[in-house]
């Protein structure tokens, strides 16, 4: 009787877990449907933005229908959440207010004539709609977490459904960054190209992580066909088609707006297999939960019937039952808890013959594998973000920090209470070098000049390419005379430099402007602006010389005034 009661309780727990998971899966389905509706609202809006208001009647109707669908989907999800009192972590008021605000901005732009809809304004609207999708992600995550809490074995499949939803959103977002420029027959802005590249990398990363999980999903012909459709239609046709278009038209404009319409017509249908795959995954999970309920209900009836037979079972049969089911289930529970709490996992191999328990152990192995894959993905994302940050702060030609990298290194440096000298150096007549010898030798001259600066960089000296042929140097100096001598020494070295290029040997000179700041530096940009005026003075005085800013000269006294200091004596000698 005791063993029968335990077995009945186990089946009852499984039945209740299946019922609870079915309820939570229905909530998850409502959440994903709302996410899809929000994403689908984006395409008619972007199409309407590319045509004149008087020609956008059908698109306006389609946009209105899409908005109504999104509102209804959100309302259904919200009603279910409020009925079950699950509002914690789901701020629907904020979501609807944000959606209403973005729609108001989109409608304001739609009211403008086509020629007044700048690409930047269209990008802002598109990114605003993308922000709505991102703001909705916690709602889906909350619903997914409830499914996992109801049945841990569904964690992998729910995460696959979430991954497919993220993949569909990213695939739909990809043309949003470039279509405004394509529709207007303009070159795609660099910022939009960079954003689209990040979206492409996210799509590829999501697919690389999810492809192995997709292949080991439900044993369903529909799922397998949807999987093949994603490979063949989206990644075989739509994705490479759009990426080639982005690469092509980021360098030159379209020949006609119709080409942009063609891109939109070809790409949009290729994203549908991703959505179909996600919906199939959710439907399959719900069907499986229903099947489990029916199965466990039958098992409960069977257990009740067999309880009378269990009374006559021998101690050996009891021990066999314990070894085959109860002890493995308890061990499985401990392993699941250890995995959830990230404690060292003691892997126990199931040696029994009960298929249900064996499938649970296999599900645990799948869960552990996917959790490991998620951790690896997070680490790869962090490494990729660091690489992108380094690339964005480094000048490709010279290897020196660019202007952004310079200010990143100077951030907080000026608060140390030390004296600093900002120096701006500019290669004299560099345009003539490019005009005479070509840009290739010109780049070699820039590289040679940057090499002179790089070998002086150190703990107290920061060098960077400020822009074009202009370079920035920041020197920590306890005395301005030392910085002035440093700049003069550098000027002399450049004057004696013979750059061997593919066009022959080129000799160059450079001019330098200095600005000094005592104590904490309030604004590096302001200090460089003063140095830039000093550099302009050096150029105006004949080039190939060093100039202090007027503000710095005023702090040095009569010895450094024109006619009384080193800079003045060198100017007289040059004259």
Residue from 232, 242, 218 nearest 274 by CA? 232
242 in Cβ contact with 175 (< 8 Å): yes
pTM for the model = 0.50
Beta bridge partners of 467: 470
Residue from 259, 105, 243, 238 nearest 186 by CA? 259
| Mean pLDDT value across residues 517-545 | 88
Residue 574 banded pLDDT, cuts 50, 70, 90: very low
pLDDT, mean over the chain: 81
pLDDT in tens, 391-410: 777 888 888 898 888 888 88
Q: How far apart, in whole angstroms, are the C-alpha atoms of residue 335 and residue 270?
A: 42
Q: Please tell me the predicted confidence (pLDDT) of residue 510.
A: 93
* Count of CB atoms situated within 10 Å of the CB of 145: 15
Q: Please tell me the predicted confidence (pLDDT) of residue 552.
A: 64
Q: In terms of pLDDT, which residue wins out, 8 or 161?
A: 161
Of the listed ranges 2-6, 152-156, 260-264, the one predicted with least confidence:
260-264
Residues listed for the chain: 575
DSSP of 68-130, one letter per residue? HHHHHHHHHHHHHHHHTT--TT--HHHHHHHHHHHHHHHHHHHTS-GGG--HHHHHHHHHHHH
| Mean pLDDT value across residues 345-353 | 71
Of the listed ranges 84-98, 150-164, 236-250, 559-573, the one predicted with least confidence:
559-573
| Mean pLDDT value across residues 110-116 | 82
pLDDT in tens, 22-31: 888 888 899 9
Q: How far apart, in whole angstroms, are the C-alpha atoms of residue 383 and residue 386?
A: 5
Burial of 388 (0-12, 13-18, 19+ CB in 10 A): middle
Of the listed ranges 161-175, 351-365, 443-457, the one predicted with least confidence:
351-365
Q: Which residues contact 192 (CB under 8 A, 6 or more apart)?
A: 119, 123, 177, 178, 180, 181
Q: In terms of pLDDT, which residue wins out, 309 or 345?
A: 309
Q: Which residues contact 9 (CB under 8 A, 6 or more apart)?
A: none
pLDDT in tens, 35-81: 999 888 888 888 787 777 777 778 888 888 988 999 999 999 999 98
In which element (H, E) is residue 359 found?
A: helix 355-392
Residue 525 exposure: Cα atoms within 13 Å on the Cβ side: 4
Check whether 331 has a pLDDT greater than 80. no
Q: Please tell me the predicted confidence (pLDDT) of residue 423.
A: 93
Residue 150 banded pLDDT, cuts 50, 70, 90: confident
Determine the longest span between alpha carbons in the chain, in angstroms: 119
| Mean pLDDT value across residues 301-319 | 80
| Mean pLDDT value across residues 306-324 | 78
**Percent above pLDDT 70 for the chain:** 89
Q: Which of 108-112, 382-386, 451-455 has the highest mean pLDDT?
A: 451-455
Q: Please tell me the predicted confidence (pLDDT) of residue 568.
A: 38
Of the listed ranges 18-27, 342-351, 479-488, the one predicted with least confidence:
342-351
Q: In terms of pLDDT, which residue wins out, 136 or 4?
A: 136
In which element (H, E) is residue 36 found?
A: helix 2-40
Q: Please tell me the predicted confidence (pLDDT) of residue 569.
A: 34
pLDDT in tens, 537-569: 999 999 999 999 876 665 555 444 333 334 433
Question: Can you point out the beta strands (E) in 382-497?
Answer: 420-427, 461-467, 470-476
Q: Please tell me the predicted confidence (pLDDT) of residue 562.
A: 37
Check whether 163 has a pLDDT greater than 80. yes
Q: Please tell me the predicted confidence (pLDDT) of residue 559.
A: 44
Check whether 532 has a pLDDT greater than 90. yes
Q: Please tell me the predicted confidence (pLDDT) of residue 491.
A: 93
Check whether 183 has a pLDDT greater than 60. yes
**Percent above pLDDT 90 for the chain:** 13
Q: Please tell me the predicted confidence (pLDDT) of residue 554.
A: 59
Burial of 349 (0-12, 13-18, 19+ CB in 10 A): exposed
- Catalytic, 469? Answer yes
Which residue in the list 41, 46, 169, 469 is annotated as catalytic? 469
Residue from 513, 515, 453 nearest 480 by CA? 515
């Amino acid at each position: 009787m005791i063993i029968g009661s335990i077995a009945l309780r186990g089946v009852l727990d499984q039945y209740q877990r299946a019922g609870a998971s079915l309820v939570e899966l229905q909530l998850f389905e409502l959440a994903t449907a709302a996410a899809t509706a929000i994403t689908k609202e984006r395409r008619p809006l972007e199409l309407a933005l590319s045509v004149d208001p008087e020609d956008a009647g059908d698109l306006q109707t389609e946009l209105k229908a899409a908005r109504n669908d999104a509102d209804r989907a959100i309302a259904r999800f919200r009603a279910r959440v409020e009925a079950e009192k699950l509002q914690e972590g789901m701020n629907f008021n904020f979501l609807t207010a944000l959606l209403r605000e973005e729609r108001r901005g989109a409608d304001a732009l739609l009211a403008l004539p086509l020629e007044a809809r700048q690409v930047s304004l269209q990008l802002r609207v598109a990114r605003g709609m993308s922000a709505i999708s991102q703001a909705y992600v916690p709602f889906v995550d909350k619903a997914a977490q409830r499914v996992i809490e109801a049945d841990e074995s569904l964690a992998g499949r729910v995460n696959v459904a979430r991954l497919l939803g993220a993949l569909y959103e990213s695939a739909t977002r990809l043309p949003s960054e470039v279509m405004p420029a394509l529709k207007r027959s303009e070159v795609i802005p660099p910022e939009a190209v960079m954003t689209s590249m990040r979206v492409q990398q996210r799509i590829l990363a999501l697919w690389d992580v999810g492809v192995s999980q997709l292949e080991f999903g439900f044993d369903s012909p529909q799922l397998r066909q949807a999987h093949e459709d994603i490979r063949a239609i989206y990644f075989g046709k739509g994705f490479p088609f759009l990426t080639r278009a982005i690469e092509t038209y980021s360098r030159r404009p379209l020949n006609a707006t119709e080409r942009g319409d063609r891109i939109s017509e070809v790409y949009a249908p290729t994203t549908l297999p991703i959505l179909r795959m996600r919906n199939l995954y959710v439907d399959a999970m719900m069907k499986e939960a229903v099947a489990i309920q029916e199965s466990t209900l039958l098992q409960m009836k069977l257990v009740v019937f067999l309880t009378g037979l269990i009374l006559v079972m021998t101690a050996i049969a009891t021990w066999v039952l314990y070894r085959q089911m109860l002890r493995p289930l308890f061990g499985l529970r401990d392993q699941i808890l250890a995995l959830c709490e990230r404690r060292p996992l003691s892997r126990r191999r199931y040696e029994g013959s009960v298929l249900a328990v064996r499938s649970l152990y296999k599900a645990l192995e799948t869960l552990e594998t996917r959790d490991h894959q998620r951790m690896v993905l997070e680490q790869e994302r962090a490494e990729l973000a660091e690489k992108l940050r380094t690339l964005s702060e480094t000048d490709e030609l010279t290897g020196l920090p660019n202007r952004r990298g310079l200010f990143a290194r100077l951030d907080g440096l000026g608060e140390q209470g030390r004296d600093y000298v900002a120096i701006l150096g500019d290669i004299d007549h560099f345009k003539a070098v490019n005009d005479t010898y070509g840009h290739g030798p010109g780049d070699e001259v820039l590289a040679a000049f940057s090499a002179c600066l790089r070998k002086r960089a150190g703990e107290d000296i920061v060098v960077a390419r400020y822009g074009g042929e202009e370079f920035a140097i920041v020197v920590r100096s306890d005395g301005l005379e030392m910085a002035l001598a440093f700049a003069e020494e550098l000027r002399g070295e450049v004057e004696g430099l013979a750059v061997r290029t593919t066009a022959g040997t080129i000799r160059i000179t450079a001019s330098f402007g200095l600005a000094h700041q005592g104590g904490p530096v309030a604004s590096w940009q302001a200090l460089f602006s003063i140095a830039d005026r000093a550099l302009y003075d050096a150029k105006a005085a004949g080039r190939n010389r060093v100039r202090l800013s007027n503000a710095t000269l005023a702090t040095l006294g009569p010895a450094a005034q024109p006619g009384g200091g080193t800079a003045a004596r060198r100017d007289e000698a040059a004259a």
